[in-house]
Structures are given as C-alpha cells and as structure tokens.
Amino acid sequence: MSRSFTSIATITEVISRTLEAYQIDSQALFQSLGLPAEPYRNPDARIPKDAMESIWEEAAKLTQNPCFGFEVGRNFHATNLHAVGYAMLASATLREALERLVRYQRLISTAAEMDLTVEDGELHLQIDPSPGIDLGDDAAFAAVVQFSRDLTDPEFNVRSVHMMRPPPPCERELNDFFRCPITYNADLDKVTFSLDSVDELLNRNNPAVAQASEDVAREYLANMDKKDVVARARVAITGQLPDGEPSRKDVAEQLHMSERTLARRLSDREYTFSSLVDEVRGQLAKEYLRQARFSVTDVAFLLGFSDQSNFARAFKRWTDESPTDFRARLVG
C-alpha cells in the first residue's frame, strides 16, 4: 500500500475555474472520478493523490492542452490555500509569506515538500515533488510566481526558475509569464528570488490576521495528524529524541497499540520504525540548524546522538554536506 498522500480540496476550485474558460463541465469531471460535483465547497476536505492525478490527466485530455498545469497556476489565488493563503496575504514581507508557505505546506499537499535556503545573496524556494502529478508540479511553479506578484506588485519578477521537466510546448508563453531565465532539465526544481525583493515591507502587512490564520492552520494540521499514525509516531519520536535513541516499545505504548500493530501500520505506509526515526532526525536537524541559538553539538544531542561525530556522519548521509557547511550556506 502506498503512502496516503492527499491535497486540500480547495485546489479544485481553481481547476474548475480554469476549465470554465474551455466551456468544460468540471462538475461532470469530478463526479466521474467519484468526487462531489464541487469538492471545494468543503474547505477542510482532502483529496487522495490518485484522484488528484486523475483530475489533472483528464483535464489535460479534455482541454487538449499539455500546459494546462501552468495555466491553472497562473489562475491561483492565495485564498485557494485555506488558512495558509490568508496568512501569506497578511505577511510583513514576501520572505515571511514564503516561510509560511513552507512551514504549512503539508496542509496544502502531503505529496511534495518545500524548503527555503539562502545562498550567494539569493533566496531559493526548492520544491521536491513526489512521483506523479506532473501538471500539479507545473501549477506550483506558476502559482509561486503569481502569488509573489499578488503580494508585491504585478511587475515583480523572480531571479530565475529551474525545472527538472523538459521544455514544454508552451515554452514561449512561459518566457512571457515568468520574465526571467528558465532552466529546463535541471538537477532540481526551484524558484530563486533576490534578497532585496523578498524583504521589502508589504502594504497589507497585518500581524493579527496573520497570527489568527496560522492558528487555524495549526489546528487543521493537528486534526489531520490525529488520524495519521505516521504523524502521531513522528510526534512521539520527537519527544523521545533528547533522551537518546527512541524506543519502538515506548512509541507503541504512547500510541496505545502493540509493537506489532505499530510495525504493521507503518509498513502500510511504506515505513519501518528505524526509517521513520531517520527521517524525523533529518528533518529536525535542518530545522534546528536554522536556529542560531543551537550549536552543532546542541543539535546532535537534541536528536539523540551520543556524540557530534555520529551526528555529522548521519547529516552527511542525509544532505551530502556537513552540518557546518549547511548552516554557513543558510546565512549566505
């Protein structure tokens, strides 16, 4: 059984709106895939990855447009992203908005990850998609640029775009939209911003609204995670790490199940207990290293390593660089 990746249902509203321009009945499309006629009417609903893949595939066939994903991305609005979008709209700077996008990205979709890094005076938003949903990946690139313009100025331009996909048939139209150098067949997917452009104060800055929206996003994720054994196990593992190597027995007890049941449920999501511990450590390591108040030694012990050298070897395996080099790259 594959991991149960899902996306927020409000994404389907912009797909529906884009299909209207082709005079295509989106309600019939959604219903043919076993979904409600208007999935986005329930703002808290989620759509499984296989259903989202089918939506994109059928939409491309019906429109006969292989660039349909980019078109949807250009029609995206922050309000299509539940509370995350409202928090972005009320952010003080574009950098703050992008940080919120990355922080709460799981709410939008669990089928991809995002990361922000600073290098050589530039801010890089890296997108790590899971296999499939290619048109969804296309939409993400266009949406990030469109969001940036909605938040700042219609004339705003990113520094560059790198996409792992080959050049699409609409390459010329994308040049007109992105208005920056585009690299296809790249080693990774990322959008690059100049630091000056992401740190200007935004006119709609509203800390109270941003905080209230974040509270909603956190509550949504908490409710989503209650039903997710992997998410619950991550929380339990995180709590055990400062005391050393996490115990499968203790985690199972904390989740009120036997070790065998925990192993089976993790296996259903294509995890073993050790692989999940490794994943949690890798994610937390990057998060802690972004915080200057923690030394590398502090991070090693927060993650349950017996010494800094063991942590350094593990971090090299996760990222292909040392913890010191990773931290240096973040500050540019």
Q: Please provide the DSSP assignment of 193-222 as one string.
A: EEHHHHSSBPTT--HHHHHHHHHHHHHHHH
Q: What does the alpha-carbon distance between residue 199 and residue 194 come to, in Å, rounded to a whole number? A: 9
pLDDT confidence bin for 3, thresholds 50/70/90: very low
Residues near 321 by beta carbon (within 8 Å), at least 6 away in sequence: 315, 329
Q: What does the alpha-carbon distance between residue 206 and residue 59 come to, in Å, rounded to a whole number? A: 37
Q: What does the alpha-carbon distance between residue 204 and residue 223 come to, in Å, rounded to a whole number? A: 29
pLDDT given at position 4: 61
pLDDT above 90: residue 228: no
CB-count burial class (<10 Å; 0-12, 13-18, 19+) for 155: exposed
pLDDT above 50: residue 2: no
Pull the structure tokens for residue 203.
């006119």
- Long-range CB contacts (< 8 A, 24+ apart) of 310-318? 311/285, 314/278, 314/281, 314/282, 314/285, 315/282, 315/285, 318/281, 318/282, 318/285
Average pLDDT, integer, range 4-16: 91
- Parse the chain into domains and list their residue ranges: 6-198, 228-330
Residues near 223 by beta carbon (within 8 Å), at least 6 away in sequence: none
As a whole number, the mean pLDDT across the chain is: 91
pLDDT above 80: residue 189: yes
Q: How far is CA 113 from CA 155, 195, 261, 269, in A?
A: 28, 22, 28, 17
Q: What does the alpha-carbon distance between residue 251 and residue 268 come to, in Å, rounded to a whole number? A: 17
Q: What does the alpha-carbon distance between residue 178 and residue 296 come to, in Å, rounded to a whole number? A: 39
Helix (H) or strand (E) holding 56: helix 49-63
Homologous superfamily (CATH) for 6-198? H-NOX domain (3.90.1520.10)
Q: What does the alpha-carbon distance between residue 175 and residue 163 come to, in Å, rounded to a whole number? A: 13
pLDDT given at position 1: 34
> Is-above-0.85 flag for pTM?
no
pLDDT above 70: residue 98: yes
pLDDT given at position 73: 97
Neighbours of 143 (CB within 10 A): 26
β-sheet bridge partners, residue 77: none
Looking at residue 165, the DSSP 8-state letter turns out to be: S
Q: Which of 70-74, 102-106, 142-146 has the lowest mean pLDDT?
A: 102-106
pLDDT given at position 190: 95
Neighbours of 47 (CB within 10 A): 23
Q: Which of 110-124, 134-148, 180-194 has the lowest mean pLDDT?
A: 110-124
Residue identified by tokens 């690059």 is 192
| Model confidence pLDDT, tens digit, residues 34-73 | 999 999 999 899 998 889 999 999 999 999 999 999 999 9
Question: Helices 229-240 and 259-268 meet at what angle, rounded to 10?
Answer: 120
Q: For the domain with range 228-330, which CATH number is right: 3.40.50.970, 1.10.287.110, 1.25.40.320, 1.10.10.60?
A: 1.10.10.60
